Amino acid sequence: MKALLVCEYREGKLLDTSYELIALADKLGVDKAAVLIGSEEAVPKMDGTVYLADAAVCGEYNPAAHKAVILAAVAKENPDYLIFCHSSYGWDLAPRVAAALKAGQITEVVGIVDGGFEVGCCNAKMRRVVKPTSAKVVLTIQAGAFAAAPAQGAPRIEPIEVTVDGQGLTFTGYEPAEAKTIDLTRAEVIVSAGRGVGKKDNIPLIAALAKALGGELGASRPVVDAGWVEHSLQVGTTGQTVAPKLYVACGISGAIQHLAGMKKSDFVVAINKDKDAPIGEVADVLVVADVVQFAPILTAALQK
Amino acid sequence: MKILVCIKQVPDMESRFKPAADGLWFNEADLAWRINEYDEYAVEQAVKLKEQLGNEPEITVLSIGPDRVVEVLKKALAMGADRAVHVQDSAPQQKGPWQIASIIANYARDKGFDLILTGMQSQDRGSAQVGVLVAEFLGFACATTLVGFSYVDGVIHAKRELEGGLKGLVDLRLPALVTCQLGLNIPRYPTLPNIMRAKKKEIETLSVTSLLTEEPLAITTQFYAPARKEGGLVLEGDLNEMAQQLVDILQEKTSVVR
């Protein structure tokens, strides 16, 4: 059995998540080759073949060209698995490759189990096991679900050239992230507000708790989308990825994107009405309570 | 311009999910249903574009499922879609994303759609495949995860959400398909007059068997709740007692509370 790993490259660099692909291939116990649309300096350190196409020619985001490069590598390697990161790059590209190969795709894999792959569903509240029935299988893997393999080895580089045609799509550039007023990645304590705080007027209750703990205020995506707090305070894959000594999740159910952004915290407290909320998966302590009632009481207890 | 919006009806995600008798999906008893949050942004974006173009575009909204999905079609009609297509299917959960996408593509093919909008994923299954697969089946240009959309002189200027707050800027020529991320716009609440007006709009019903041509490429074999964190503690009961307990735990287990 063999896996073709689709590495990720952005703004001139290999993304570290590419090593998580190697980790999954090793866990599956299959031979591996990789494909990178990037540059020779950015080739991952691994054993085996890396098929390399030039991002200066193909573009960093050109799904039609990237699909063509991957299909050229598939023609040479005939892999059983094609593995992508479940990222803005992977979830955009993987189904295009799956369609071309008529391969079943299993999205956002978090584990390998007997007879299939484990994935989250129902907003991370539940899990499914999915079993492929096609000859080739496309997998996208959840960020952080498989600890990155060490960067070691020297690959054999094989260049791939394709005719580049955007097929109706033109990438025109990047818009940088908004400047951060507070760098949450340096905070020792983060107290984050989620949808469970109910309304904007309740945000000060969470901010007061953050202050009592000597920490910073953070937020989940719905709270930012609703305009209750500024975007720079968003924790999660599309905001900041944090690992403080203490993380307090207030009224946050624990969508996958949020969990991926905070699950490396040393100690996690969740305050949630719903005992079954997926945040319970990563919480060291789950307080079953309405955070709007509980936060002021906890703040007072801390100030004693 | 002809616009198609593909929407799914999903359970309220605050629900408590229990496995169904077959152990492959959730039990539907006692669930409240609503439009998939991501798809609501797709409907709103279509209606905004229709308004921008002086009401010229015709918006068709499509959903696959049993009779209950008519409710989300009615909501989309009340938001401003012109007509609805209900693909009648008593068990859509038994079909994989490959099959669902093929059903939509078989419906849309040769109907002259210029633009297809849908959510980037469903909240319940979350496969994030259907939109892109439909685009591939139809040969449409496609971009996913939009947090920005504008249409100027026949070109879509899309803003894709990447990681860490970075955005990718993409221009798309029609025909195109885009998938919507949360926060793309502010979906409107249907007004009472629009709800009344929507009652007169056409809802066409088609049988799924007339559109289904594909076998599944992956199947669900188990459905269950994930395990809680090993050693994780659950506190329940009196708020004051829990607060004191938590302070004690934080003093003992962390270096940040003294």
Residues A155 and A188 in one domain: no
Residue B79 to residues B36, B221, B231, Cα–Cα distance (Å): 15, 38, 48
Instruction: Give the mean model confidence (pLDDT) for residues A74-81.
Output: 98
Residues A153 and A220 in one domain: no
Total structural domains within chain A: 2
Residue A128 to residues A26, A240, B19, B23, Cα–Cα distance (Å): 23, 28, 11, 10
Q: Is the peptide bond before A44 cis (omega within 30 degrees of 0)?
A: no
Residues A16 and A121 in one domain: yes
Closest by Cα among B156, B179, B135 to B36: B179
Domain B2-210 in CATH 3.40.718.10: no
Tens digits of residue pLDDT in A48-74: 999 999 999 999 999 999 999 999 999
- In angstroms, the separation between the Cα of residue A159 and the nearest Cα of chain B is 26
Q: Would you call B243 and A274 a contact, using CB atoms and an 8 Å cutoff?
A: no
User: A51, A79 in Cβ contact below 8 A?
Assistant: no
pLDDT for the residue numbered B130:
98
Q: A17 lies in a domain?
A: yes
Q: What residues of chain A lie within 8 A of the CB of B229, using their CB? A: 280-284
Residues A90 and A189 in one domain: no
pLDDT band at residue B232 using 50, 70 and 90 as cut-offs: confident
Residues A135 and A255 in one domain: no
For the cut 80, the answer to whether the pLDDT of residue A179 exceeds it is: no
Cα–Cα distance measured from residue A253 to residue A37, given in angstroms and rounded to the nearest whole number: 37
Residues A154 and A203 in one domain: no
pTM exceeds 0.80, yes or no: yes
Tens digits of residue pLDDT in B152-201: 999 999 999 998 889 999 999 999 999 999 989 999 999 999 999 999 99
Tens digits of residue pLDDT in A26-48: 999 999 999 999 999 999 999 99
Mutate: best of A11, A169, A186, partner B, most B CBs <10 A: A169
Nearest chain B Cα to A62, which residue? B170
For the CA atoms of B130, B134, B137, B140, the dihedral, rounded to the nearest 10 degrees, stands at -140
Residues A121 and A242 in one domain: no
B98 touches chain A (CB under 8 A): yes
Phi (first) and psi of residue B168, to 5 degrees = -110, 135
Tens digits of residue pLDDT in A91-129: 999 999 999 999 999 999 999 998 899 999 998 889 999
- In angstroms, the separation between the Cα of residue A54 and the nearest Cα of chain B is 19
pLDDT for the residue numbered A67:
97
CB pairs under 8 A between A and B: 270
Nearest to A131 among B142, B215, B219 (CB): B219
Domain of residue A28, CATH code: 3.40.50.620
Q: A168 lies in a domain?
A: no
What are the residue boundaries of the structural domains of chain B, listed by start? 2-210, 230-258
Helices (H) and strands (E) in chain B, counts: 6, 13
Instruction: Give the mean model confidence (pLDDT) for residues A235-245.
Output: 90
What lies within 8 Å, CB to CB, of A274 at 6+ separation is A253, B14, B16
For the cut 90, the answer to whether the pLDDT of residue A157 exceeds it is: yes
Q: A119 lies in a domain?
A: yes
Looking at A159, A174, A196, the residue that finishes a domain is: A159
pLDDT band at residue B149 using 50, 70 and 90 as cut-offs: very high
For the CA atoms of A85, A89, A92, A95, the dihedral, rounded to the nearest 10 degrees, stands at -40
Q: What residues of chain B lie within 8 A of the CB of A137, using their CB? A: 218
Residues spanned by the domain of A112: 2-159
pLDDT band at residue B63 using 50, 70 and 90 as cut-offs: very high
Q: What residues of chain B lie within 8 A of the CB of A100, using their CB? A: 136
User: A7, A35 in Cβ contact below 8 A?
Assistant: yes
Nearest to A275 among B137, B221, B234 (CB): B234
Cα–Cα distance measured from residue A269 to residue A191, given in angstroms and rounded to the nearest whole number: 9
CA B118 to chain centre: 7
For the cut 80, the answer to whether the pLDDT of residue B228 exceeds it is: no
- In angstroms, the separation between the Cα of residue B61 and the nearest Cα of chain A is 23
